[in-house]
A and B are shown apart, each in its own frame.
Chain A
């Protein structure tokens, strides 16, 4: 007896299903916002690549996000390379293409940044690197960032964007979820601040680990945030589910996100939060 198709216990599917959201804004063309349908001329998405009507943030490369987010950025661990632990057919070719497309060594960019004068450890996932999937190097870079931030008493900000596990790395991908979580726990135990910012899409193993472990969890408008894929859910319960079940707005209403912040307001917003927690570590009660 099968209550749901095991064939579909995969999170990546929902990301593929949302083809419209995967389209980059092509130069010199009109594009419809995948969330509200508003027709936008490419120049009008502006620096922030957001819909002028509903403020959905288009999927952007990690390096593009830096352009408006930070004053300075010192990149870390850009030379690490996965050892292809399963010796997986075709994986090397896929990696090479992803590296060229994103100018990254894996699906996350990490470094030490200043945001309006506030120093922090910053990680940005790239949805264009094998769908932002969680690989060994993704997990390693993020773990090293948390470990460094713990040592230097720095707050951490992580922008998530992921289709879930990196299936080409098998169990190694799964182990990253615990590896990173343990580093988050050590950082937290020192009383340091961790802010996660969930962008479109944040799903699967990333939702089920560091995305949902922030002291403060922010999200971009209309970002898809969930664990299981839409199709998997529908095949399991034999019912249609509403389109907005996994929208940032619904997830906030259900109690799992602190605030939704439009992309063009994020720098100011994050700077204020960093300032509020200034000094890192636990507040000295004797003051």
Chain B
């Protein structure tokens, strides 16, 4: 378990090539995945994969960041860092989920929103702000699984719902440990030290009340998948039993306490 790992080791494991991938998660957790493309405004951002699927027989909407596997995919997907069109796709699919009364399941592994020129021109800040304003209010259960990196506002935009769980080897930060070290000590090489100070591990975040739980991870991905499946099954059952007013009030309180 992660208790034995240092924060720096968790950072390395979160970014590891052995990490479970978005296609693996989607193929194994769901059946009949229909991928849906585009934000209906300007583009289809490959960094976000989204669509319809069955989870253990019930209809759900799935949105996920995807870092890609091949070099070509990684370029197209900006290594999993969404552009504004990606966040607008997430919001579009979430509103569709709300219309049809389906839960929203989000999977996050991103260093952060893509910091590019066109991203600025197309309103990266506005795209995330709108997710926080509107995605945070969708009237269906909304669960997020962080399975690698979750960097800053770009991850938060997909983690503003009812439950957030993290895989054992994942991190959730306000900025990267390298960025943190270079600001604080003017030395990005002190990232390992920064990782300790930042309290970015799942255990530390659970203690701070930022997440609901930590999911055990195994080198054998089928075991990790089974653990994720169990969490989703349990939490969907919990959330679907809640009257809407209570669901929304608890969601407000989930963030109000900070």
Contact = CB atoms under 8 A, between A and B. Distances in A.
Interface of A: 1-10, 12-13, 85-86, 88-89, 136, 139, 143, 165-167, 169-179, 181-182, 184-186, 188, 204-205, 207-213, 225-229, 232-233, 236-237, 239, 241, 245-246, 254-256
A233 B183 contact: no
Nearest to A202: B125
A19 B1 CA distance: 46
Interface string B233-258: 00000000000000000011001101
B256 A255 contact: no
A9 B111 contact: yes
B179 A228 contact: no
Contacts of A228: 113, 115-116, 119-120, 124
A25 B121 CA distance: 32
A271 to B, nearest CB: 26
Q: Is the interface of A mostly helix, strand, loop or mixed?
A: helix
A7 B133 contact: no
Interface stretch (B23-31, B51-59, B74-82, B94-102): B74-82
B136 A178 contact: yes
A227 B133 contact: no
Contacts of B176: 6-7, 9-10
A208 B252 contact: no
Q: Is the interface of B mostly helix, strand, loop or mixed?
A: helix
B199 A170 contact: yes
Q: Which 4 A-B pairs have the closest CB atoms?
A: A228-B115, A207-B125, A7-B178, A212-B129
Contact of A213 (B113, B114, B129, B153): B129
Given A165-B175, A171-B199, A245-B117, A85 B151 contact: no
Given A88-B197, A228-B124, A233-B120, A3 B74 contact: yes
B12 interface: no
A49 B44 CA distance: 44
Nearest to B134: A185
A208 B153 contact: yes
B174 A171 contact: yes
Contacts of A172: 208, 258
B43 interface: no
B116 A6 contact: no
A205 B156 CA distance: 10
B174 A167 contact: yes
Contacts of B255: 175, 178-179, 182
A9 B112 contact: yes
Question: Which of B74, B111, B122, B191 has the most chain A CB atoms inside 10 A of its CB?
Answer: B111
A179 B199 CA distance: 20
Contact of A171 (B119, B191, B205): B205
Contact of A236 (B74, B116, B133, B200): B116
B200 A170 contact: yes
A5 B81 CA distance: 12
Contact of A237 (B116, B125, B188): B116
Contact of A86 (B115, B136, B160, B199): B199
B170 interface: no
Contacts of B75: 3
Given A139-B258, A205-B152, A178 B184 contact: no
A85 B174 CA distance: 14
A181 B208 contact: no
Contacts of B200: 170-171
B197 A9 contact: no
9 contacts: A3-B79, A3-B81, A9-B111, A86-B198, A182-B256, A208-B128, A213-B132, A236-B115, A237-B116
A12 B183 contact: yes
Nearest to B15: A6
Question: Which of B157, B188, B199 has the most chain A CB atoms inside 10 A of its CB?
Answer: B199
Contact of A232 (B115, B181, B199, B251): B115
